[in-house]
Structure 1
Amino acid sequence: MAFIDCHFYSESLKISTSMYVILPQSTHSQIGLVNRAGGTKHPTLYLLHGLSDDHTIWMRRTSIERYAALLGIAVVMPAVNRSYYANMANGYNYWSFISEELSALARSFFPLSDQKEDNFVAGLSMGGYGAFKLALNFPNKFAAAASLSGPMDVSDNQINGLGEEFQQVFGDRSTIHGSTNDLFHLADKVSQTNIAAPLLYQYCGTEDYTYESNKRFRDHCSKLGLDLTYEEEPGTHEWGYWDRKIQTVLEWLPLRQEKLRN
């Protein structure tokens, strides 16, 4: 795999920002790692960070490069600070950045596929929420999305870590319902369109503070008939589980079967 620490200017944010990118590389003599690469345009996983983290965290806390190497998939890890992947009421337009600008910029820099069947999004905690928010808002762009311990209902008073920041991010809590930030509303909407809904994977530990909202969202998707794979097990909000579960997510992704070079 090739690893790129990419710094660039964002028109949406009006500031310079960063992303980590790992790209497939076909190698024959590298010791201890099997690398594979497919065609000229790589399938891509947009991998999102949580509230207290940044774009470096997946590389620091997991072996995501090693996990992705065998699959021939690119991984794009952007920085969004503590934005909840929203156009903040008092702050930066991170939703415009993540939903409109990021993929176009990444494809202009790197050989990434623009086909729906080659694009996926996943994340942990705040990033799990962001992954579902992105895929459900744009079912025509993403084949699958995965949430690890994501807070499924950001209007819930139990959301950990926001505190007084909530109004800075979302403004009036009453505006969330029925909006771009409401995953339940987005699930309703995507279930009523003629566009094939993205496959969804949802994991949460039973001792996690997001557990109740995860169960509610699971049940909501079940009623709508959406294709959601749900898993839970004893666990809290921590990296030991996320490191294991991102491997499960990679195995679950509906990657197209292409001839890979190794």
Structure 2
Amino acid sequence: MAFLQVNVYSNVLQMEVAMNVILPQTTHKKIGTETVGITDDIPVLYLLHGMGGNHSVWERRTSIERYVAEYQMAVVMPSTDLAFYTDTTYDMNYWTFVAEELPELVHELFPQITQKREKTFAAGLSMGGYGALKLGLAKSENFAAVASLSGAVVLADIKSLLLVRNEAYWQGIFGPLDQLQGSENDPLYLLEELVKSGKETPRFFLACGTEDDLYPASQYMAHKLEQNKLDVTFEEGPGKHDWIFWDAWIQRVLEWLNEKHS
């Protein structure tokens, strides 16, 4: 596998942004595993970081490059700062960047990566789990499957949000907090809109550690997806909100993504 560190200009954000990209590569090694890399129509996983992370954190905290080699899949890991995958009230449109501009940039720079929905996936942890779920709900036409690990996928509990950051931060992201529920940034609202639209829906995977404070949120969102007759897998296991859990479970995500893809 090839690992690329990319700096590119975003017209949406009007700034330079960073992303790391893993690409399949044919290798002949005396020590290690030889691989035959595919070079056309490569499946792609958009892998999103959580609060406090950036484009480098998945590579630094897990063995994602080694894990994905088995599946010959490209992985795109963008940096999105602390913007919660949202078009913020302070005029930084990170949602538009991730949902619309980023795939265009990827296809421009890496034409060997697929543009087919059935080979395009998203996943993330915590804040990134919210982002991946949001992509699956609001951009269902672009993603065959999405996965949320320990995702902040239910935002109705304002008190819980304020335990993480102060009100000024959240208002900068979402606007008035009393208007968050039922807005385009509310996953439950996006779920309702997707079901009403009649659009094709992706497969959903949610997992969370049973000792994680966000466990009830993942459990509840999985229930709502199932209640609306969407294809959802919910799994749990011992674990907290940490990289021990995410390093183990990203391997399960890759396995799950390829159960039907292959």
TM-score interval (norm. to shorter): over 0.9
Q: In structure 1, what is the Cα distance between the partners aligned to 2:254 and 2:49? A: 16
Residue type of the partner of 1:156? D
- Give the 3-state SS of the residue equivalent to 1:192 in structure 2: helix
> Where does residue 191 of structure 2 map in the other structure?
187
> Where does residue 161 of structure 1 map in the other structure?
164
> Where does residue 148 of structure 2 map in the other structure?
147
Taking only aligned residues, the RMSD between alpha carbons, in angstroms, comes to 1.5
Q: CA deviation at 1:188?
A: 1.9
Is the 8 Å Cα contact of residues 45 and 120 (structure 2) preserved in structure 1?
yes
Residue type of the partner of 2:18? S
- 1:103-122 to structure 2, matched below 5 A, reads 103-110=103-110, 111-122=112-123
Residues 1:15 and 2:15 are matched in the alignment: yes
Q: CA deviation at 1:187?
A: 1.6
> Where does residue 56 of structure 2 map in the other structure?
56
> Where does residue 134 of structure 1 map in the other structure?
135
- 1:23-62 to structure 2, matched below 5 A, reads 23-29=23-29, 31-62=31-62
Q: CA deviation at 1:30?
A: 5.5
Higher RCO (CA 8 Å, separation ≥ 6 residues) = 1
- 1:194-209 to structure 2, matched below 5 A, reads 194-209=198-213
Is the 8 Å Cα contact of residues 3 and 23 (structure 1) preserved in structure 2?
yes
Q: CA offsets, 1:79-102, max 9 Å, x none?
A: 000000001112511011001100
| Aligned pairs, number | 257
TM-score, scaled relative to structure 2:
0.93
Q: CA offsets, 1:85-122, max 9 Å, x none?
A: 00111251101100110000011001211100010000
Higher mean Cα deviation, 181-190 or 93-102? 181-190
Q: In structure 2, what is the Cα distance between the partners aligned to 1:239 and 1:91? A: 32
Q: In structure 2, what is the Cα distance between the partners aligned to 1:134 and 1:223? A: 20
Higher mean Cα deviation, 201-210 or 79-88? 201-210
Is the 8 Å Cα contact of residues 91 and 168 (structure 1) preserved in structure 2?
no
Q: In structure 2, what is the Cα distance between the partners aligned to 1:84 and 1:128? A: 10
Is the 8 Å Cα contact of residues 133 and 180 (structure 1) preserved in structure 2?
no
Higher mean Cα deviation, 31-40 or 243-252? 31-40
Gap regions ≥5 residues in structure 1: 258-262
Q: CA offsets, 1:141-175, max 9 Å, x none?
A: 00000000001112322135232311111111133
Is the 8 Å Cα contact of residues 36 and 70 (structure 1) preserved in structure 2?
no
> Where does residue 225 of structure 1 map in the other structure?
229
